[in-house]
């Protein structure tokens, strides 16, 4: 919880674990459904992973403030339209805006996005990161899922199996992550 929110008696929303796994010609993004405020589960079945863009060729998952994430989804969809579905170009342009725009720079969210070729992590600092080893995870249980997935890649080839098992580990360890998982594949 940041000091400003703590001083004003506001509680920080904790919501999620999102993981992206790229193996061979398949990319999977999975996310849990829990949204918590303090030590209370506010919603157990939120959908934080979804298809976006024309033809649903891009999958995106978010961690952070829900309203902020929906704003970013909308902005990314507009950038995908503007750049003819080129995810990498759209992501770079979105993060430029996110970092420099007075309104957008206050948004508190992270995103993992993917199309057939790219698996990317987007941040409000202007980062467009392609994860090493084809695995990325964000959110309160992200490090647990990332560690589990990295342990599984030597034994498992299927990205969906890796993502689901990693999410199960995160759900067992992180109190802000549940086993209600949404999975999308590109």
- Which residues are known catalytic residues? 16
Helix and strand numbers (H, E) in the chain are 5, 12
DSSP string, 110-170: EEEEE-SS-EEEE-TTS-EEPPGGGEEEEETTHHHHHHHHHHHTTT---HHHHHHHHHHHH
Strands, sheet with 49-52, edge to edge from the N-terminal-most edge strand: 49-52, 58-64, 109-114, 119-122, 128-129
Helix (H, G, I), strand (E, B) or coil at 68: helix
């Amino acid at each position: 919880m940041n000091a400003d929110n703590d001083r004003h008696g506001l509680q920080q929303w904790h919501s999620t674990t999102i993981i992206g796994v790229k193996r061979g010609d398949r990319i999977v993004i999975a996310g849990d459904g829990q949204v918590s405020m303090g030590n209370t589960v506010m919603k157990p079945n939120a959908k934080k992973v979804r298809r976006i863009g024309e033809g649903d060729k891009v999958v995106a998952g978010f961690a952070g403030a829900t309203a902020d994430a929906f704003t970013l989804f909308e902005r990314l969809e507009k950038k995908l339209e503007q750049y003819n579905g080129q995810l990498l170009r759209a992501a770079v342009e979105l993060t430029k805006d996110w970092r420099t725009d007075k309104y957008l720079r206050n948004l508190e969210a992270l995103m993992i996005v993917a199309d057939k070729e790219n698996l990317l992590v987007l941040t409000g600092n202007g980062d467009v990161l392609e994860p090493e080893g084809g695995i990325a995870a964000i959110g309160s249980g992200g490090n647990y899922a990332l560690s589990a997935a990295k342990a599984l890649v030597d034994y498992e080839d299927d990205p969906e199996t890796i993502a689901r098992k990693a999410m199960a580990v995160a759900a067992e360890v992180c109190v802000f992550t549940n086993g209600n998982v949404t999975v999308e594949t590109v």
